[in-house]
């Protein structure tokens, strides 16, 4: 197999997206997939498949860091996976059955991606208010109800991520804040990142088998994004969180609307 070709334009895009991910904590799928589809004209299925393996590589590093810090609640991670793994598998089977390259599949992926971005932007804007609301809530915990709602959340994320590569970050964390108000935010984020690794790896492997991975594109993105994430993470404490979050939400709203209407 020939060595992947490095495209500097893709690497620069990876640098920019990686920087924003490090700065804001928002998953790269919310940014990278739309850039590939709208800016570079990459086929939606190829953009999603490549971005899933890209996410698996980057979030594995995040899981290692959170694991060493002890900021992962494996109970929550396993509950999410109990829903997401079967849902992702079923979604990939349906994609294989109905074809990834058909115009209908391409349109479906693009529309669902746009809707996912719109939901992500809402989750970003209202996350602080939802976190405060959850923190003030003092009703008794219903373990069985919380368990099944977590599994259902995982199932929705599994289908969404397999179709669009978006959802495991902002949407997942926002729902977990409501379901587990007593859990520290850092453990919620760590649990969500840990859950994203097997989910994106499974979905990415499925897209690989379906032939929708561009290895040169993947390597080019990683070459730029890894230093970008490091720089953004270093500068994140100096940036105004509310301003960054609202600017990013506005950007995702515009991109999501364009994808839905195009």
Q: According to the model, what pLDDT value does residue 24 have?
A: 64
CB 158 within 8 A of CB 199: yes
**23 to each of 151, 232, 236, 242, how far by Cα in Å?**
30, 4, 5, 12
For 16-30, the pLDDT digits (tens) are 888 877 766 666 667
- Band (pLDDT 50/70/90 cuts) for residue 104 is confident
For residue 262 the two structure tokens come to: 């195009």
- Band (pLDDT 50/70/90 cuts) for residue 180 is confident
| Furthest CA-CA distance within the chain | 59
Q: According to the model, what pLDDT value does residue 74 have?
A: 93
For residue 166 the two structure tokens come to: 């978006």
Q: How many CB atoms lie within 10 A of CB 96?
A: 12
Checking if the pLDDT of 237 tops 70, the result is no
Residue-averaged pLDDT of the chain: 81
For residue 55 the two structure tokens come to: 């996410």
| Residues with Cβ within 8 Å of residue 7, at least 6 apart in sequence | 216, 217, 220
Burial (CB < 10 A; 0-12, 13-18, 19+), residue 138, is: exposed
Main-chain phi, psi angles of 101, to 5 degrees? -100, 0
Residue in 246, 257, 247, 248 with CA at minimum distance from that of residue 114: 257
Q: According to the model, what pLDDT value does residue 83 have?
A: 96
| Residues with Cβ within 8 Å of residue 142, at least 6 apart in sequence | none
For 71-103, the pLDDT digits (tens) are 889 999 999 999 999 999 999 998 888 776 667
Residue in 196, 193, 177 with CA at minimum distance from that of residue 185: 177
Q: According to the model, what pLDDT value does residue 85 have?
A: 94
Mean pLDDT confidence for 99-127? 78
Q: What's the whole-model pTM score?
A: 0.80
């Amino acid at each position: 197999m020939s060595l992947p070709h490095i495209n500097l334009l893709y690497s620069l895009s990876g640098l920019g997206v990686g920087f924003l991910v490090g700065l804001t904590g928002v998953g790269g799928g919310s940014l990278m997939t739309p850039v590939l589809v709208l800016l570079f004209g990459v086929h939606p299925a190829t953009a999603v498949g490549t971005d899933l393996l890209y996410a698996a590589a980057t979030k594995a590093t995040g899981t290692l860091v959170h694991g060493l810090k002890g900021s992962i609640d494996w109970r929550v991670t396993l509950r999410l996976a109990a829903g997401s793994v079967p849902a992702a598998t079923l979604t990939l089977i349906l994609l294989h059955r109905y074809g990834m390259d058909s115009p209908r599949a391409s349109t479906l992926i693009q529309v669902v991606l746009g809707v996912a971005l719109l939901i992500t932007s809402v989750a970003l804007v209202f996350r602080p208010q939802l976190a405060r609301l959850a923190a003030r809530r003092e009703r008794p915990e219903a373990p069985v109800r919380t368990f099944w709602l977590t599994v259902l959340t995982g199932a929705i994320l599994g289908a969404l991520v397999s179709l669009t590569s978006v959802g495991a970050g902002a949407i997942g964390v926002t729902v977990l804040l409501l379901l587990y108000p007593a859990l520290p935010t850092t453990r919620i984020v760590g649990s969500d990142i840990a859950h994203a690794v097997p989910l994106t790896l499974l979905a990415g492997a499925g897209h690989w088998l379906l032939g929708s991975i561009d290895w040169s594109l993947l390597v080019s993105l990683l070459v730029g994004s890894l230093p970008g994430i490091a720089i953004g993470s270093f500068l994140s404490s100096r940036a105004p969180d509310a301003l960054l979050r609202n600017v990013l939400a506005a950007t995702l709203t515009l991109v999501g609307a364009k994808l839905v209407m195009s």
